[in-house]
């Protein structure tokens, strides 16, 4: 049985940009319990008021699968263990299990702690045995173990043996600097396991981008506990990603560390923790990222349409994810056919010339468009390829004016006006509208022109507007790509436009947004 040990609330919280409140930590704890994590490290109660309050409130949590763990260091050098403030805080935290961290690298003992090797061993023995005397189960984290083993193998092994003799349940070998490759971790783990009888665990950091691989290597050699964080959050380059470890254990090694239903919640847990930590989800994160099972190349899509496993190492829904097919200039007709089916456009495929449509997509993308992530614009491209499609409106022309009076007045005295002509069912509507910028004025003018024909547009709102420069080398002459997110209160969609003129690119995305909104409200064209 592998013990899953999560340290997101402590090690993960050291990731740059993460700052967790007590409420945040309690919410994450509940979610980890649902996932089936065996041990949840709540923090260091002797280090800050937030962690002290967390352990106080965590006593009221009703956890189903998880055991709460307090974390702290061994007693200080030359201090009686019963008088050490950190040790007292660990006892006061009230957890049934404590993880103690101690030095196993002689360099740290002599140069960082500035004490003797013998005193460090005494600190470990005293701290573990004292907590054991209080009825507390103790895990011992041998900090910098792999570096320590390289520098002084005999002393590193002595640290493990002392912790074991003091009553530690297991010793976790830590690659604290994250510099050890899996082959070295395997070598050291085997030598250590052959020389001690206590169960060993593994704790790896990702500074060499091999933290998960190193952890898996130790597990294959018999590690009984694996420590990591959700999404790999942690100091510097992060910790071993527990999401990936769980998926690999369950699906690749056949180790039932969680149930099938808990495995299916992996993506949801990953997103939940990302949202609370205010960290954007990484699209390429293995197993749970939005791009983890996304297929773009035409040959790939053609193969996946026939046999999904041909370009996927697992079935996506086993970890709560989905297969995605994107349309781009790299697409083949298989991409288009799959995407049209996926969007459930309810159109007669015989009326669509896929070869011609594919050429249109490739031409548009060569001009700066990107339909990946802009399904609404892609759907309109498909529908416009049908001979009988009639758009709700068509642009005749528009003029945009921007006025600024003096550099010091910019902001307060910036004005924009758009004069617009659109064709609605053969009737030309001409309007003008002001705005705090040309795009806002364009939006106001278009809405003004169309509301009389389509009152339902009053529910449509633009919720996001993003601009990206496509051709950085051309400076201000570069093509810009505009994405607009819109909603009608029930659904949200994304449209895209591209041009060397930012106002024209904005018009393309804006017009698509209105046209798509009317199309999906089943409003007939005039």
Name the residue with higher pLDDT: 506 or 1.
506
My answer on whether 34 and 110 are in the same domain is yes
Q: How many CA atoms lie within 13 A of 319 on its CB side?
A: 29
pLDDT exceeds cutoff 50 at 330: no
In a domain, 284, yes or no: no
Residue of higher predicted confidence among 451 and 471: 451
Task: Identify the CA nearest to 196 among candidates 156, 232, 227, 229.
Answer: 156
Mean of all residue pLDDT scores within the chain: 88
Q: What is the pLDDT of residue 411?
A: 53
Which of these three, 444, 463, 478, is where a domain ends?
444
Q: Tell me the three state secondary structure of residue 514.
A: helix
If pLDDT is split at 50, 70 and 90, which confidence band does 322 have? Answer: confident
* Within a domain: 270: no
Q: Contact 160/196 with Cβ under 8 angstroms?
A: yes
Q: Answer yes or no: is pLDDT of 379 > 90.
A: no
Judgement on whether residues 252 and 398 belong to the same structural domain of the protein: no
**Is the same domain home to 216 and 324?**
no
Assess if residue 181 is contained within a domain.
yes
Q: Are residues 376 and 403 in the same domain?
A: no
Same domain? 212 vs 130: yes
Indicate whether 148 and 189 sit together in one domain.
Answer: yes
Asked if the model's pLDDT at residue 351 lies above 60, the reply is no
Instruction: Enumerate residues 6+ apart whose C-beta is below 8 A from 366.
Output: 329
Mean per-residue pLDDT for 465-480? Answer: 75
Tally of structural domains, the chain: 3
Q: Please tell me what DSSP assigns to residue 209.
A: S
Return d(Cα 318, Cα 35) in angstroms, integer. 14
In a domain, residue 520? The reply is: no
CATH code at 431? Answer: 3.30.160
- With respect to residue 46, please indicate whether it lies within any of the assigned structural domains: yes
Q: Are the C-beta atoms of residues 439 and 505 closer than 8 Å to each other?
A: no
Q: What is the DSSP string of 212-238?
A: HHHHHHHHHTT-SEEEEBGGG--STT-
SS3 428: strand
Is residue 331 pLDDT above 60, yes or no? no
Q: Considering only CA atoms, which of 433, 499, 492 is closest in space to residue 471? A: 499
239, 204 Cβ separation under 8 angstroms = yes
- Checking if the pLDDT of 323 tops 70, the result is no
Average of per-residue pLDDT across 264-287:
90
Q: What is the pLDDT of residue 352?
A: 60
Per residue in 105-154, pLDDT tens?
A: 999 999 999 999 999 999 999 999 999 999 999 999 999 999 999 999 99
pLDDT of amino acid 375: 84
Q: Is the pLDDT of residue 235 over 60?
A: yes
Domain limits for position 440: 393-444
pTM of the model: 0.70
- SS3 readout for 135-186: CCEEEEEEECHHHHHHHCHHHHHHHHHHHHHCCCCEEEEEECCCCCCHHHHH
Which range, of 79-93, 198-212, 325-339, 455-469, averages the lowest pLDDT? 325-339
Assess if residue 462 is contained within a domain: no
Rounded to whole angstroms, how far apart are CA atoms 295 and 100? 46
pLDDT more than 70, % of the chain: 86
Looking at the structure, tell me whether residues 143 and 111 fall in a common domain. yes
pLDDT cut 90: percent of the chain above it: 63
Extract the tokens encoding 315: 């079935």
Q: Examine the fold and report which residue of 444, 460, 479 is the final residue of a domain before the chain moves on.
A: 444
For the CA atoms of 240, 242, 243, 246, the dihedral, rounded to the nearest 10 degrees, stands at: 120
What's the pLDDT score for residue 300? 57
| Single residue among 235, 258, 281 that ends a domain in this structure | 258
> What is the arithmetic mean of pLDDT over 266-270?
94
pLDDT in tens, 43-74: 999 778 889 899 999 999 999 999 999 999 99
Residue 408 lies in a domain: yes
- Residue 228 in this model has a pLDDT that exceeds 80: yes
What stretches of 278-331 show up as alpha helix (H) in DSSP?
298-306
Is residue 524 in a domain? Answer: no
Same domain as 27, residue 172: yes
Where residue 175 sits, what CATH number does that domain have?
3.20.20.70
DSSP 56-114: HHHTT---SS-EEEEEEEPPPTTS-GGG-HHHHHHHHTT-SEEEEEEE--HHIIIIIS-
Residues 69 and 187 occupy one common structural domain: yes
pLDDT above 60 for 248: yes
Does pLDDT of 341 surpass 70? no
What pLDDT is recorded for position 385? 80
Query: Are residue 60 and residue 15 in the same domain, yes or no?
Result: yes
């Amino acid at each position: 049985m592998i013990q899953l040990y999560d340290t997101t609330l402590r090690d993960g919280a050291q990731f740059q940009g993460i700052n967790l409140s007590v409420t945040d930590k309690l919410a994450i704890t509940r979610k980890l319990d649902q996932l089936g994590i065996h041990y949840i490290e709540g923090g260091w109660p002797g280090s800050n008021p937030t962690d002290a309050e967390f352990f106080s409130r965590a006593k009221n949590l009703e956890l189903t699968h998880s055991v709460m763990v307090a974390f702290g260091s061994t007693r200080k050098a030359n201090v009686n263990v019963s008088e050490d403030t950190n040790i007292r805080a660990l006892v006061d935290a009230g957890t049934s299990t404590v993880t103690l961290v101690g030095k196993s690298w002689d360099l740290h003992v002599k140069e960082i702690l500035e004490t003797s090797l013998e005193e460090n061993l005494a600190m470990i023995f005293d701290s573990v045995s004292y907590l054991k005397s209080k009825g507390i189960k103790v895990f011992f984290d041998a900090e910098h173990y792999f570096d320590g083993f390289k520098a002084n193998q005999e002393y590193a092994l002595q640290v493990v043996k002392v912790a074991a003799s003091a009553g530690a349940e297991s010793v976790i070998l830590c690659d604290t600097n994250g510099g050890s490759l899996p082959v070295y971790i395997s070598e050291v783990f085997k030598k250590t396991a052959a020389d001690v009888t206590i169960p060993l665990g593994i704790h790896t950091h990702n500074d060499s981008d091999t933290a998960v691989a190193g952890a898996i290597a130790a597990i294959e050699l018999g590690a009984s506990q694996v420590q990591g964080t959700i999404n790999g959050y942690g100091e510097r380059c992060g910790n071993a990603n527990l999401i990936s470890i769980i998926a690999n254990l369950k699906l690749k090694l056949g180790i039932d560390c969680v149930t099938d239903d808990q495995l299916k919640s992996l993506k949801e847990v990953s997103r939940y923790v990302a949202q609370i930590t205010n960290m954007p989800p990484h699209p390429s994160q293995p197993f749970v990222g939005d791009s983890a099972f996304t297929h773009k190349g035409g040959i790939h899509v053609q193969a996946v349409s026939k046999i999904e496993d041909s370009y996927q190492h697992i079935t996506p829904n086993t970890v709560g994810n989905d297969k995605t097919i994107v349309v781009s200039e790299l697409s083949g007709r298989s991409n288009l056919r799959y995407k049209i089916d996926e969007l459930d456009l309810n159109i007669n495929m015989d009326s669509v010339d896929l070869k011609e449509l594919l050429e249109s997509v490739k031409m548009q993308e060569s001009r700066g468009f990107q339909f990946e992530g802009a399904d609404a614009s892609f759907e309109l491209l498909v529908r416009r390829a049908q001979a009988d499609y009639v758009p709700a409106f068509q642009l005749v022309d528009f003029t945009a004016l921007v006025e600024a009076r003096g550099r010091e007045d910019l902001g307060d005295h910036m004005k924009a006006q758009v004069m617009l002509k659109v064709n609605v069912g053969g009737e030309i509507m001409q309007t003008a509208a002001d705005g705090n910028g040309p795009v806002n004025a364009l939006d106001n003018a278009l809405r003004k022109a169309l509301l009389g024909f389509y009152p339902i547009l009053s529910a449509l709102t633009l919720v996001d507007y993003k601009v990206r420069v496509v051709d950085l080398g051309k400076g201000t002459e570069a093509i810009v790509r505009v994405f607009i997110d819109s909603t009608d209160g029930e659904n949200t969609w994304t449209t895209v436009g591209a041009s060397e003129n930012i106002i024209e690119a904005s018009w393309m995305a804006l017009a698509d947004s209105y046209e798509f909104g009317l199309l999906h409200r089943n409003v007939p064209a005039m």
